[in-house]
Structure 1
Amino acid sequence: MTTLLPRIMRALEHFHATHPWDHNAHYHRWILRQLPRRSTKALDVGSGSGDLARLLASRVGAVHGIDVDSTIADRARDLTDPAAPVTFAVGDALKEVPPGPYDLITCVATIHHMPFSDALTCFRQHLAPGGTLAVVGVYRPQSRSDYLIDAVAIPANVAMAWIKNKGRKAPRPVSMTAPTRPATMTFADIVRAAHQKLPGARLHRRLFWRYTLVWHRHKMIDSKGPYVTTE
């Protein structure tokens, strides 16, 4: 399977080029389900052309997107209603995060471009007590389970492409993103590093070559003052 899969993936890439659909947007509704009950401020890291940030703005008081690509950030601003509670910044998310803290931090198909442990530490520091970190990432397949899920994803991907492009004369446009690179960490590496930085984080392999990570920054009442975080 490991030798056949690369050839199948190349054929799938060709099919996807003519029948495109956004694998990352497939998980946007999942992210909405992770929102804390009271969410006044959210940060979307690697915001691209802003689809997720605009979706979050329908549920959150203020949303900040940050991306390293200025062209894509400009595109996000052009696509966003000026009256919407959304702003977009250009910069390194590990060094130039807009002032928080945030009730929700999202990072979709972006964290593999960063030092993984450093990114988790940064996100944790900018998360408000009671806040949630929701990551959708990619990993390098290594185990039999990885390749099995990849194999299952292939027919599912084809089916989704047909469904989403059905009846369209022109392919459905896919959101702009910065140039990507392959993931270098295996899922086992990711789980191990995540549990070191974010005890209690929940990680799952998902279809379409993705994994999800959810972590909640808990809060408790301190007799000497207001909320303090427990990690």
Structure 2
Amino acid sequence: MTEPDFLRDTRNSYNAMAIDYAENFKNGIDDKPVDRAVLAVFAELVRASGNTDAVDVGSGPGHVTEYLKSLGLNIYGIDLSSEMVELARRKRPGIRFEEGSMTALDLAEGSLGGICAWYSTIHVPLEQLSGVFADFRRALVPGGHLVLGFQSGDELKHYDEGFGHKLSLDFYRRSPDLVAGLLNEAGFEVYARAEREPDPEEKTRQAYLIARALG
């Protein structure tokens, strides 16, 4: 099967800028109190379910994976970029990181208590997103939880350059209502949602959804 262009372009772009990207975001979520709070709620819900097995899909340099592990989740990371995976393994040797795509997850059905997709679905075209959410639902136990972070809005931004590297990278800004509707169609019930205003280095509002997998 031919790989979709957006997967190839996303992988190549993050491979090119992995080191500089990680350096630019080296503080991770340390200065993002709302982000930490949302992730903490997600972790508490997963722990309460009795199944702490979880995966961070689109884990990048691994700072969110590390934070969720510190909150008691048995979590590992998956990322499309081999350079990001190698970087995460070097920086966080106590955590498992694997190369993979959210459009073709090799996860057993009903095996996970939680899935985190933190600013990783922002590169997935709308026509692919329903399938991604359906696969997330397949991998979760009934009552398991999914947390999403994404840029709020209604536009596509394309970047040909970033951190001094040539890229071909699409960013989709989406309304929380649109994403919530797709989650409902995929077999989720939205449990919590939040939005915050952009920080000084950001250009748009940030959105967060926590959803529960229906039985």
Alignment TM-score, normalising by the size of structure 2: 0.64
* CA drift at 1:141: 4.1
Structure with greater strand share of residues: 2
Distance 1:185 1:55, change over 3 A: closer
Trace 1:69-148 onto structure 2 (pairs within 5 A). Answer: 69-81=81-93, 84=94, 86-99=95-108, 101-114=111-124, 115-141=128-154
CA offsets 1:124-183 (integer angstroms, 9 cap, x no match): 0001233111111223248xxxxxxxxxxxxxxxxxxxxxxxxxxxxxxxxxxx985321
Gaps of 5+ in 2: 1-23, 156-166, 199-204
Identify which of 170, 183, 187 aligns with 1:198.
187
Measured at CA, do residues 99 and 89 of structure 1 come closer, stay the same or move farther in structure 2, by a change above 3 Å? farther
**CA deviation vs aligned residue, 1:63-119 (integer Å, no higher than 9, x gap):** 1211111111101000113xx3x2111111221334461111000111122222111
Structure 1 pair 204–130 and aligned structure 2 pair: CA distance change class (3 A): closer
Give the number of equivalent residue pairs.
Answer: 162
Instruction: Confirm or deny: 8 A CA contact 1:49 1:76 kept in the other structure.
Output: yes
Give the direction of change, closer, same or farther, for the CA distance of 1:188–1:106 in structure 2 (3 Å limit): same
Corresponding residue for residue 41 of structure 1: 53
Q: Which amino acid aligns with 1:70?
A: S
Counterpart-to-counterpart distance in 1, 2:27 and 2:194:
14
Distance 2:73 2:25 in 1: 29
- Identity over aligned pairs, percent: 18
Matched residue SS, 2:55: strand
Q: Distance in 2 between matches of 1:118 and 1:75?
A: 29
Contact 1:64/1:98, CA 8 A, preserved across alignment:
no
Structure 1 residue 213 and structure 2 residue 202: aligned?
no
Higher alpha-carbon deviation: 58-67 or 104-113: 58-67
Q: Is the 8 A contact 2:28 2:63 kept in 1?
A: no
Match of 1:189 in 2: 178
Report the secondary structure of 1:92's partner residue: coil
State the structure with more CA Rg. Answer: 1
TM-score normalised per structure 1: 0.60
Letter in 2 for 1:204: R
Identify which of 19, 37, 40 aligns with 1:29. 37
Aligned to 1:154: none
